[in-house]
Structure 1
Amino acid sequence: MFGIAIVLVLGSGFLHSIWNLYTKKSLNKNVFLWFCQLVAIILYLPWTIFEWDSSQLAGTGLLVVAASMILHGLYVILLAATYTVGDLSQVYPIMRGTSPLLVPLLGVTLLGEQLTAGGWCGVISIVLGIALVSNIKFKRNEPSSSKAPLLALAVGTCIAGYIVVDKVALNYVSAVVLNEATNIGNLLALSWATFTSGGIRNELKANWKIMLLGGIIAPGGYLLFLFALSFAPVAQLAPMREIGTVFGTVMGIFILREKQGTRRILTSFLITVGVIILGIWG
């Protein structure tokens, strides 16, 4: 079963990097993501209805699913803002590296847990990789380059939050029902920015086919991860999913022709290695 979980997680990371590439290439990130959520909601609705009877959406279950919807909604708003100002090969490693870094650090600082020497090596590797890929510079009379990395850190924080909450939510609803709920939360969160943007017509004209595809692979990738969680603990699987960090960085360099290619690829490997070390030996 653990082997199946690994395959599902690696597939999830690859699909995640693909739809993030499409998001970065879109004209208006809010509009693009809004239509992806709409397609996903419609596409997965029959499956959701089929599995609805197994849900326990009352009391605690309802609160946990609502919390997941809020965290996912905040995540997708920040994601749109991040890709509006930052390169894929810069912000993607930060977003994906922050999440597995925060969970063990919070455990150490707030819960009195311990990290092994290997775990601290993983932490150092992740922090160093994020610092190098951020490449923040402060120059007089020039705007700071910190906006994109800071937004990416905020996205990573949301990812850490919703992964933990979603693990709990799976005790009350199936992966498909939870995925549908979070898609609805994302749609609601993006609605104001989408309908006030004035960019709906242009986005549909330019990317309607890609938005249809995004509506399939974006939730599909996360569904693979949710299914994997039913086979193995989140502490083991979440680090493996971050192999998508390398996929996303390589796509940004070779498909989008973003600068600092060698530096960013090396730092994405540094972050990924740190995540794996932290997940296995932390």
Structure 2
Amino acid sequence: MLLHGVYVLLLAKVYTLGDLSQAYPIMRGISPLLVPIFAVLILNEHLKFIGWVGIVSIVFGILLIGGLKRKALNQTMVYAIAVGVMITGYTLVDKYALHYVSAITLNEFSNVGNLLVLSWVALRSGAIRKEWQVNWPTIILGGALAPAGYILFLKALELMPVSQLAPMREIGTVFGTIFGVFLLKEPQGKSRIIASIFITAGIIVLAP
């Protein structure tokens, strides 16, 4: 799946531009809103009114984490929007593909897409050996956890509508907030905890 590879490239670009607190809510807030809309329109899924309420609660919580102040569109935001669109795209495509292949097979196809898109960039940078020498434990851990986590998501996607599951996937934002507030002692703890409550409430509403 080339969409996965393009997603990773765009994500890396966002990280290099900085201001993650501005970009992250945009990246993670777009797909919980767009996926249900397109799932209803294209995949003929049905979502009750209370489900839409849950989605709005999740999106609001994500935006609240990043701050609700209006900001002028800049390069970081443009790339963040592109990342959100890619997440929407590959989530919908993966849901459709699961009608024909297993979760593990689909994950391997995604890995091939990543390989095709990212190999040229990685080799061109000439930093693979240095990166491995410095961060090899993190690379091994990430290499194990990332596909395992996505296979679990795909297995769940086999069992329930993507219009429900895609927004529920943002529970990771809640855990990240808890980690940042209580372990890293990051600022704006109160507002982020409130935002996490909105996200959690939305997920509970969406739960089948």
Question: How would you bin the TM-score normalised by the shorter chain?
Answer: 0.7 to 0.9
Moved more, 164-173 or 128-137: 128-137
User: Which residue number corresponds to residue 84 of structure 1?
Assistant: 16
Aligned pairs for 1:157-176 (under 5 A) are 157-176=85-104
Q: Deviations over 1:153-186 (max 9, x none)?
A: 3322222221221122122222112111111211
Q: 1:132 to 1:70 in 2, by over 3 A?
A: same
Q: 1:233 to 1:220 in 2, by over 3 A?
A: same
Aligned pairs for 1:57-206 (under 5 A) are 69-86=1-18, 91-106=23-38, 117-135=49-67, 146-206=74-134
Give the superposition deviation at 1:214.
0.9
Q: 1:192 to 1:256 in 2, by over 3 A?
A: farther
Give the SS at the match of 1:171: coil
Report percent identity of matched pairs.
56
Moved more, 74-83 or 261-270: 261-270
Q: 1:187 to 1:272 in 2, by over 3 A?
A: farther
Q: Deviations over 1:1-52 (max 9, x none)?
A: xxxxxxxxxxxxxxxxxxxxxxxxxxxxxxxxxxxxxxxxxxxxxxxxxxxx
The count of aligned residue pairs is 207
Q: 1:134 to 1:76 in 2, by over 3 A?
A: same
Q: 1:107 to 1:200 in 2, by over 3 A?
A: closer
Question: 1:251 is aligned with what amino acid?
Answer: F
Q: Aligned Cα RMSD in Å?
A: 3.4
TM-score (norm: length of structure 2): 0.76
Larger radius of gyration: 1
Structure 1: give runs of 5+ residues left out of the alignment.
1-68, 139-143
Give the SS at the match of 1:230: helix
